[in-house]
Amino acid sequence: MMRLKRNKKRLWANKHLGFIIAIMAVCSIFYYLPVIGGLAGWTDFQNSMNGLHDLYGIDFLGLVFFAPVIYAAYALGVIPAILSALVAMLVLLPHAILIDTYPNALFKPTAFVIILSAVGAVVAMLQKSEQQHRERMREMKCLYHIGKAAEECESVEGFLTKAVTIIPQAMQEPADTSVRINFHGQSYESPGFQKSLSRISEHLMVGGSAMGVVEIYSNRSNPYLKKRNHLTKTLAERIGGAIRQLELEQSLQGYYVQLEDEVDDRTRDLEQVQEKLIRSERLAAVGELASGVGHELRNPLNVIRNCAYLLNMSLAEKEDGEALETLQVLDKQIDIANKIVTDLLDFTRITPPTQARIDLNSLVRESLSWVAVPEKATVNNNLNGHSLHIHTDAEQIGRVFTNIIANAFQSMNGKGGRLDIEGGSKAGEAWVSFRDDGCGIPAENLEKVFEPLFTTKPKGIGLGLAISRRLVEQNGGKIEVASQKGQGTTFTIKLPLEKRR
């Protein structure tokens, strides 16, 4: 590959050298046109052309030799331009010696060569200055694109991947240049990366510490690459600064995300605390009211029950069927009123749980036996798997299960339906779900079903689920509800599993 590159450079130099020789030959023929015309017998042509050799003291035909000298200066530099001027002098000497009749004729080609050399040197220096200007423009453009890439990229990896493709564009021969950046043990290479003997490198300083290295390889000669050492230092400084900026931005973004998460967590905590405070205040008010009302109603209800019992005893002898049926209805309504009073009093005096080791599946089956299953309803008990042991208050959690099962049957509105009971364990918790296909709960009421005194049923005062929630939470668990109107409701109770010792 290196040999191929060198051959291309030789061909490039030979091409310009061939052009110079061709131009020099054409200029020589043009300069000796009067002589050629004379040899051909074109006397008038010879005389007219000889006049151009000394028109107002200037050899206008000799001016054509500026062409090869200027071309050599622009394409190859000062030395080839001076050599071209010397060749032009050799071309001019035969005319000065053999044909020019003026005294001191040799002075003319010598002075002309000096002028040609001076012009060639000036053109070569102007061309070099223009080349340096183009190089500076490429370098400035490269630094600009490096900065632009740092602004557009969101990660250090993306920025370095772009940087290795931008840097070769700052070189005179991008195709001959390969770039590699090592950062934190990872390499980023320009497309078609290839090592070569000509190499310069610079440490990549990030935050005052050497974090990597910038390497530039070129297939051209080593002196050419060493002239770009200042650019390599500038690029390393610019890339290091951009990496530092990106790292700070990423760190700051991480802080933003962390702060947002903390704010969200604190907001949720505050909402939960506020919700508990509101619920506690509401429960306290309801409890105070319930305690007073419950005690005031219990005595009148007992008196009514005793009176109904006496009437039933006295009417039983008279066999008054209609009156007896009325007393039975009265007795049922007294039971309903007593249950309301009991719920009120239970709500105000829930005792701390007395936890013991129980089998959750057995507790569910026992709770199911406490509820009368309607004739048209079916129960699918899918708790036939392995036993789940928990530490909890069996009486309190049994009340929760009983209440949820009773609510499920009530939601069927006497039309019949199905209750599916399932259980399992996950992530250190045992869970039991009760799913019915009853009337369901409207979406706007889902958040309210556990609030005291909220109910959509024609009977009851809305304390059953509120009490159930308190009982579950004080046993270390939680209760969840999911429902869709017209399709049924699912209550899920989650309790901590027994810890193995």
Q: Which residue has the higher pLDDT, 374 or 51?
A: 374
Query: Which DSSP string do the residues of 412-470 spell out, in sequence order?
Result: TTTS-EEEEEEEEEETTEEEEEEEE-SS---GGGTTTTTSTT---SSSS-S-HHHHHHH
Coil/strand/helix, residue 149: helix
- CA–CA separation, 399 vs 467, rounded Å? 9
The CATH number that domain 356-496 falls under is 3.30.565.10
What pLDDT sits at residue 225? 56
- Of the candidate CATH numbers 1.10.287, 1.10.10, 1.20.1070, 1.10.132, the domain formed by 263-348 belongs to 1.10.287
Domain locations along the chain:
2-133, 263-348, 356-496
* 8 A C-beta contact, residue 447 and residue 271: no
**Model confidence pLDDT, tens digit, residues 124-134:** 777 777 777 77
Count the Cβ atoms, other than its own, within 10 Å of residue 59: 19
pLDDT of residue 64: 79
Model confidence over 288-314: pLDDT tens digits?
A: 666 666 666 767 777 777 777 777 777
Q: What is the pLDDT of residues 235-285, one digit of tens each?
A: 788 888 888 888 888 888 888 888 888 888 888 888 888 877 776 676 666
Q: Give the Å distances, CA to CA, from 108 to 321, 428, 445.
A: 157, 109, 114
278 backbone φψ class: left, alpha, beta (φ>0; ψ -120 to 50) = alpha
Contact between 315 and 327 under an 8 Å Cβ cutoff? The reply is yes
Highest mean predicted confidence (pLDDT) among 45-54, 250-259, 444-453: 250-259
